[in-house]
Amino acid sequence: MSRGGALLAPGDRIAVVAPAGPAPLDDLERGIAFLERRGYVVARGAHVTGRRAYLAGTDADRAADLNDAIRDPTVRLVWCARGGYGTPRLLDRVDVLALRRDPKPLVGYSDETALQEVWRRAGAPILYGPHVVELADRGAYDPRSLWRALERREIDVPLRPRQVLRAGRARGTILGGCLSLLVGLPGTRYEPEVDGAILFWEDVNEQPFRIDRMLTHLRNAGWFDRLAGMAVGRLHGGRAPDPKLHRSLRRILDDRLEGTRFPVVLDLPAGHTPGKWTLPLGVPARLDSDAGWLRIAPAGSRKDPRPPGSRGRWLSAR
| Residues classed as catalytic | 110, 202, 272
Q: Where are the beta strands (DSSP E) in the chain?
A: 13-17, 41-44, 75-80, 106-108, 126-128, 155-158, 164-166, 168-178, 198-202, 229-233, 264-268, 279-281, 283-288, 293-296, 316-317
* HEC-encoded secondary structure of 203-223: CECCCHHHHHHHHHHHHHCCH
Which phi and psi angles does 197 have, rounded to 5°? -90, 160
Packed helices 249-256 and 208-220: angle between N→C axes, nearest 10 degrees? 20
Please choose, from the candidates 244, 182, 237, the residue with its C-alpha nearest in 3D space to the C-alpha of residue 213: 182
* HEC-encoded secondary structure of 256-315: HCCCCCCCEEEEECCCCCCCECCEEECEEEEEECCCCEEEECCCCCCCCCCCCCCCCCCC
- For residue 47, what is the DSSP state? T
Please choose, from the candidates 42, 3, 1, 50, the residue with its C-alpha nearest in 3D space to the C-alpha of residue 22: 50
Count CA atoms within 13 Å of residue 135 on its CB side: 25
CA–CA separation, 269 and 278 (whole Å)? 9
CA–CA separation, 92 and 42 (whole Å)? 26
Beta bridge partners of 84: none
